[in-house]
Amino acid sequence: MHNLPSTGYYNTINDMEGLSMSNKQSYDKLFELIEKNDIAMLTTIHQDKLVSRPMSYQDVDDQGNIWFLTTLTEKTEEIKKDNRVNLAFTKKGYVSIAGHAEIINDDAKKKEYWSKGIELFLSTSHDDPNVVLIKVVPDSAEYWATDDKVKTVVEGIKSLVSNDTGSDTSINKSIEL
């Protein structure tokens, strides 16, 4: 299971007393949705085009940064040239996070996040100099949560066909981080 931010995260973004209850609930819902996902689509910029690829995230730290393990590839070169990224999570609910990424070479953190699965996937070990961390620092996020997935899909199709908006059971929030 991934580590999600403790209440210390709220203090980094804004003084907890300054957060309204709805903002705190929005943050809680955002990280609850992220926790339900193992894979994020990481979008980078390559020669003025958007490029996305699936990535398994390792952790969300107390500051809300999202960590990935990878090897030096085109994606890391793209981040070095233009560090603006987007993460999309879609397993349960939908989360889109806009932010900027940093390539980090921290042996202790690489070892901390390393697993047999990662070793098999990357075909290397944590001490390989080509293994690096990608730290995504969120700037803003938007999420859509549904209380009844099937009902929402049916109502969405119904509204497209009949122009009937019905009762929307989805929750959509935008959050500046």
Q: Is the pLDDT of residue 12 over 50?
A: no
Query: Residue 13: which of 2, 3, 25, 27 has the closest Cα?
Result: 27
Q: 39, 55 in Cβ contact below 8 A?
A: yes
The reported pLDDT for the residue numbered 104 is 97
The reported pLDDT for the residue numbered 105 is 96
Q: Is the pLDDT of residue 56 over 60?
A: yes
The reported pLDDT for the residue numbered 7 is 39
Percent residues over pLDDT 70 in the chain: 68
* Rounded Cα gap, residues 5 and 15, in angstroms: 15
Report which residue type is found at 68: F
* Residue 149: both structure tokens together: 């997935």
Mean pLDDT (the chain) is: 78
What are the boundaries of each domain within the chain?
A: 8-143+172-176
pLDDT in tens, 112-135: 999 999 999 899 999 999 999 999
The reported pLDDT for the residue numbered 25 is 74
* Residues in Cβ contact with 81 at an 8 Å cutoff, skipping those fewer than 6 apart: 45
Phi, psi of 129 (to 5 degrees): -65, -15
Mean pLDDT of 19-44: 78
Helices (H) and strands (E) in the chain, counts: 6, 7
Mean pLDDT of 94-99: 92
Q: What is the DSSP letter of 126?
A: T
What CATH superfamily classification does 8-143+172-176 receive? Electron Transport, Fmn-binding Protein; Chain A (2.30.110.10)
